Structure 1
Amino acid sequence: MQLGTRWTSGDQPPAGVPEALVRGVRGVDDATPKDELGQPRPRWTLTWLEGRPIAELDTGVIVTLDDDGEPVVRHDDETSFGGH
C-alpha cells in the first residue's frame, strides 16, 4: 500500500512523488498566475489508484501519468465553479 501526501503549490514536492509526475506538477505551478493579494496558494494531494500516482490541485487540475510514463494534465469538471 502506498500512502498519499499533500504539499502547497509552488513548493518542492515530497521525495515520494515520481519525477515524471513532478514535471507535470511544476508545469501547472509555473502556469498558475501568482496571487498579488496574498491569498493562500492551493495545495496538491497525491493519491495512488491501482499503483499509479495521481496529483490533484485544490482547483480541480489533475496530473496523471500515461502508459508511457509521461505526465498528462486535465481538469476535473465536477469540481469547477459553474459545474452542475
Structure 2
Amino acid sequence: MQLGTRWTAGEQPPKAVPEALHAQIAAVENALTPDGLSAPAPRWTLTWLEGRPVAELDTGVIVTQDPSGEVVVRYDDDDEFA
C-alpha cells in the first residue's frame, strides 16, 4: 500500500514523490502566474493509481507516469466526459 501526500507549490516535493516527476512539477510551477491578490499558492496532491504516481495541482494540472514510465503533463478537463 502506498500513501499519498500534499505539499504547497514552490516547496521541495516530499520524499514520497518519485524523482521522475520532479522536473515536470517544477516546470508547471514555473508557468504559474501570480494573481496579484496575495492568494495562497496552490497545493499538490500525490496519489497512486494502478501503482503509478499521480501528482495533481489544485488548478487541475496533473503530472503522472504512463505505463511505459514516460512522464505526462495534462489538464483535468471535466468536460471530457460530458
**TM-score with structure 2 length normalisation?**
0.87
| Number of matched pairs | 80
Measured against aligned partners, the alpha-carbon deviations of 1:14-58 in whole angstroms (never above 9, x if no partner) come to 011101111111110011113432110110000001110000001
1:76 maps to what in 2? 76
- Which has the higher mean CA deviation after the structures are superposed, 30-39 or 53-62? 30-39
Alignment of 1:24-39 (within 5 A): 24-39=24-39
The Cα RMSD (Å) is: 1.6
Counterpart Cα distance in 2 of 1:24 and 1:30 = 10
The residue aligned with 2:41 is: 41
Quote the Cα distance in structure 2 between the aligned partners of 1:23 and 1:9: 13
Q: Identity rate of aligned residues, in percent?
A: 65
- Matched with 1:16 is 16
Q: What whole-Å deviation, never above 9, does each CA across 1:44-81 have from its counterpart, x for those lacking one?
A: 000001110000001111001134423211001118xx
Gapped regions of structure 1 (runs ≥ 5):
none
Unpaired runs of 5+ residues, structure 2, are none
Q: Secondary structure at the match of 2:74?
A: strand
TM-score by length of 1: 0.85
Q: Distance in 1 between matches of 2:65 and 2:24?
A: 9
